[in-house]
Amino acid sequence: MPDGLILWVTNLLLGMGIIATLASLVVHKIPLLWRYQLPVKISAILLLVAGVYLRGGYGVEMAWRERVREMELQVQQYEQLADDLNKKLAAAEKNKITYIQGRVEIVKQYIDREVKVYDETFRPGGVCEIPKEFVNAHNQSAAKPEAKK
Amino acid sequence: MKYVLIAFCLVLSGCWTVPVVPDFPKLPEQTVMNIPCPDLRVLKSDPTISDISNTLNLNYHTYYECAVKVDSWNKWYLDQKALYEKTIKK
């Protein structure tokens, strides 16, 4: 409901409550109405109480809405800044990964150019055979560790 | 009557909580952070020296790529935490 409409309704109710309460103080002096002074007084009090209650509620409602607006603004600002940080992080990550992938390719080319020539020397049964224990040790190191549960 | 009014005025105030909370922070859109680190490569039987070098090269590359992911997770967490505390919990 719009703020203005809520304020208007609560003020109207409070005003009517005040007028009715004041009127109930003099109702016994009016010849035709003095018989109804008790119901009039009760109605006036109820109207006044409802008016005061709603006017107080309006204050709380407005404070609450203001707080919601503040929070929404904060959340919006937070999400924007978080998005900026994410973009920076993604860019830095992409640079590092690209660099690592470039480097692995350079090393691969070096191996193909400089190390491959020793393949014959280190082949099985060759001059310097690579022991199977070396291969086993490497594979054991590279194997995914599976901790016992 | 006046006591009733005073009593009602006293109970007008209440406790309110604001139902506005930010979403859980998202990961960057273009990221490898959420891709699990692969297993390291093992040597085939009777490898040549270049096979060994290539496998080592790829394994080190795998380690460094995985290190980037871990570092990114750490940075993401610390950045988001600092930002949350600065803007929301101030």
In-domain check, residue B5: no
- Judge whether B6 lies within some domain: no
Q: Is residue B82 part of a domain?
A: yes
- B12-37 b/e (C-beta count within 10 Å ≥ 16 → b): eeeeeeeeeebeebeebeebbbeeee
* Beta carbons of B83 and A73 less than 8 angstroms apart: no
**Are the beta carbons of A135 and B68 separated by less than 8 Å?**
no
Is B39 inside any structural domain?
A: yes
Q: How many domains does chain B have?
A: 1
Domain that holds residue B83: 27-90
Residue tagged 């604001």 (tokens): B18
pTM of the model as a whole: 0.69
Q: Which residues of chain B have pLDDT under 70?
A: 1-19, 90
- Taking the CA of residue B6 and the nearest CA in chain A, the distance in Å comes to 10
Q: B4: nearest CA in chain A? A: A49
Q: Which of A86, A59, A92 has the alpha carbon at shortest distance from B12? A: A59
pLDDT at A147: 78
- Nearest-CA residue of chain A relative to B68? A93
> Quick check: B22 and A75 in contact, CB under 8 A?
yes
Q: Is A82 exposed, middle or buried (0-12, 13-18, 19+ CB in 10 A)?
A: buried
Q: Which residue of A has its CA nearest to B45?
A: A135
Give the model's pLDDT for residue B6.
67
- Is there a domain that residue B1 lies in? no
Q: Which residue numbers in chain A have pLDDT < 70?
A: none
Chain B: closest CA distance from residue A31 (Å): 24
In a domain, B55, yes or no: yes
User: Is residue B15 assigned to a domain?
Assistant: no
Examine the predicted complex and report whether its ipTM is higher than 0.85: no
pLDDT for A94 equals 94
Where are the domains positioned within chain A?
A: 3-139
Asked if the structure places residue B74 within a domain, the reply is yes
Residue B42 distance to chain A (closest CA, Å): 5
Give the pLDDT score at B11. Answer: 56
Q: Which of B20, B54, B84 lies nearest to residue A72, judging by beta carbons?
A: B20
